[in-house]
A and B are shown apart, each in its own frame.
Chain A
Amino acid sequence: MGLFSKENREVLCNPLGSNNPVAVQVLGICSALAVTAQLEPAIVMGLSVTVIVAMANVIISLLRKTVPNRIRIIVQLVVVAALVTIVSQILKAFAYDVSVQLSVYIGLIITNCILMGRLEAFAMQNGPWESFLDGIGNGLGYAWVLIVVAFFRELFGSGTLFGMQVIPQGLYDAGYINCGIMLTPVAALVLVGCIIWFMNARAEKAEKKK
């Protein structure tokens, strides 16, 4: 079986579309609401979740044959918590600015349901390489939804992208005002709802074609 066989490509790509963790499995919504008021933290969060899911998936996958069934959730939790703590310590020592930015999200990563979901549903049954791909795929699937939501929230909520003003001052002078609700978690829920709607509609179409 090749490293990028058809199955493995599916493992990597399905979470980006038809089996998206946020839009289809509706996992990780809590953090999707919390970090999407601006684009930058959303990207940072998306990438850190990707890295942590991939690493945790590989470790659990290597251990999967030895893990006692009755305490498997605890083992998964310990692996994730240890991993996140070590990564955060290393960041604090060698990339202090990044760690300050991430400080709020580190805790959110541990409690992110996508992590436990992937460990339990995938890494416990599959080899390390497939698990690694699955982790990357799910992390990126989570990341793109976050980025789309954050893009709209920051653009319409504060008129900026990456903290830089993109809506021209002239519009404000002409009476345009930022949409305050976009800055609240409510807007994130509405946007995630729209994405779920879009994904479902697309899935239905694909079904009909078959």
Chain B
Amino acid sequence: MKLNTNNNVYILVYASVMVIIVAFLLAFVSSSLKETQDNNVRKDVKKQILSALNIEATDATVDGIYEKVVKDNLANGAELTEYTEDFKTSYNGEIKAGKFHVFVATLDNGETKYVFPVYGAGLWGPIWGYVAVNDDKTSVYGVSFNHESETAGLGGEITNKEKFQAQFKTKKVLDENGEVKLTVIKNGTANGDNECDGVAGATLTSKGVGEMLLKCLGNYKEFLNVK
């Protein structure tokens, strides 16, 4: 018997069954994989924080290194308070809620570094990163930046460790007057201790990084000025 596939009842039943099957399938896949995915996200965030400290961690070692190297503290004015809640994977909401995280890291050689999460907007979507400073609280030790949907090869270059991120290592967060001035400006025009070159061809993404640094690091002004 040949099915009459143009029958209205058939179409309705077909569409409903299809939607139910697909919905069930997607729900099943999503819920059964959620834990593994969350775990991956946590590991990835930890890797990014460690990357700002110039440490390359692998999946297997990241938890161990993280415990040893980085402790999370909440900045409360110029004071640090011990952080006891679950590890956060996104600092956007935290920054908006006025909770400023500082990761206090003790490297293997005993040096202390502070890592600050930063969050802002690129050209197409959110960008974020971590800035590590030395214990003089102004010279930059390392940075890591990441983005959701900047153009590969242009705005995406902000993730380039050897080129874009490397120039931060010689820069300072504060100017002589103790103001937060670390920023990114148009490619080829950077000079002084606080300015970094943007990515050529990605002016808007570079600007986004600059604004993100000024705004988010600005929250730590008091903390950075207590030596």
Report A's interface with B, CB cutoff 8 A: 34-35, 37-38, 41, 65-71, 74-75, 78, 82, 85-86, 89-90, 92-94, 96, 100, 103-104, 153-154, 157-158, 178, 180, 183-184
Binary interface profile of B, 10-22, with partner A (CB < 8 Å = 1, else 0)?
1100110011001
Shortest Cβ-Cβ A-B pairs, 9 listed? A37-B153, A96-B40, A93-B33, A93-B36, A38-B153, A68-B11, A68-B5, A82-B22, A183-B201
Q: Cβ of B81 < 8 Å from any Cβ of A? A: no
Cβ of A103 and Cβ of B148 under 8 Å apart? yes
A-B contact pairs, 19 of them (CB 8 A): A37-B153, A37-B154, A41-B152, A65-B3, A68-B10, A68-B11, A69-B5, A69-B6, A70-B11, A86-B29, A89-B33, A90-B33, A92-B33, A92-B37, A93-B36, A93-B40, A96-B40, A103-B149, A183-B154
Residue among A37, A90, A104, A158 making CB contact with B149, cutoff 8 Å:
A104
Closest to A178 in B: B200
Cβ of A85 and Cβ of B26 under 8 Å apart? yes
List 15 additional A-B contacts (Cβ < 8 Å) besides A71-B15, A178-B200: A37-B151, A41-B152, A66-B5, A69-B5, A78-B18, A78-B22, A82-B26, A85-B29, A86-B29, A89-B33, A89-B37, A96-B40, A153-B153, A158-B153, A183-B154
Given contacts A90-B33, A93-B37, A154-B153, contact A180 B148 (CB under 8 A): no
A103 partner residues in chain B, CB cutoff 8 A = 148-149
Cβ of B15 and Cβ of A183 under 8 Å apart? no
B200 partner residues in chain A, CB cutoff 8 A = 178, 180
Tell me the minimal C-beta distance from A71 to chain B in angstroms: 6
Closest to A150 in B: B153
B36 partner residues in chain A, CB cutoff 8 A = 93-94
Cβ of B26 and Cβ of A74 under 8 Å apart? no
Closest to A99 in B: B40
Cβ of B153 and Cβ of A71 under 8 Å apart? no
Bound-state Cα–Cα, A69 to B200, Å: 51
Tell me the minimal C-beta distance from B134 to chain A in angstroms: 29
Residue among A66, A92, A100 making CB contact with B14, cutoff 8 Å:
A66
Bound-state Cα–Cα, A92 to B149, Å: 16
Q: Cβ of B90 < 8 Å from any Cβ of A? A: no
Tell me the minimal C-beta distance from B5 to chain A in angstroms: 5
Q: Which residues 111-153 in B have Cβ within 8 Å of A in the complex?
A: 148-149, 151-153
Binary interface profile of B, 21-38, with partner A (CB < 8 Å = 1, else 0)?
010011001100100110
Bound-state Cα–Cα, A68 to B18, Å: 12
Bound-state Cα–Cα, A17 to B25, Å: 38
Bound-state Cα–Cα, A37 to B199, Å: 14
Cβ of A67 and Cβ of B25 under 8 Å apart? no
B40 partner residues in chain A, CB cutoff 8 A = 92-93, 96
Q: Cβ of B63 < 8 Å from any Cβ of A? A: no
Residue among A70, A86, A96, A157 making CB contact with B26, cutoff 8 Å:
A86
Residue among A67, A82, A85, A96 making CB contact with B5, cutoff 8 Å:
A67
Closest to A95 in B: B40
Residue among B3, B37, B41, B43 making CB contact with A66, cutoff 8 Å:
B3
B10 partner residues in chain A, CB cutoff 8 A = 68
Bound-state Cα–Cα, A85 to B33, Å: 13
B44 partner residues in chain A, CB cutoff 8 A = 96, 100
Residue among A89, A158, A184 making CB contact with B30, cutoff 8 Å:
A89
Cβ of A90 and Cβ of B153 under 8 Å apart? no
Tell me which of A69, A70, A89, A100 has the highest count of chain B C-beta atoms within 10 A of its own C-beta: A89
Bound-state Cα–Cα, A78 to B14, Å: 12
Bound-state Cα–Cα, A103 to B40, Å: 15
A85 partner residues in chain B, CB cutoff 8 A = 26, 29
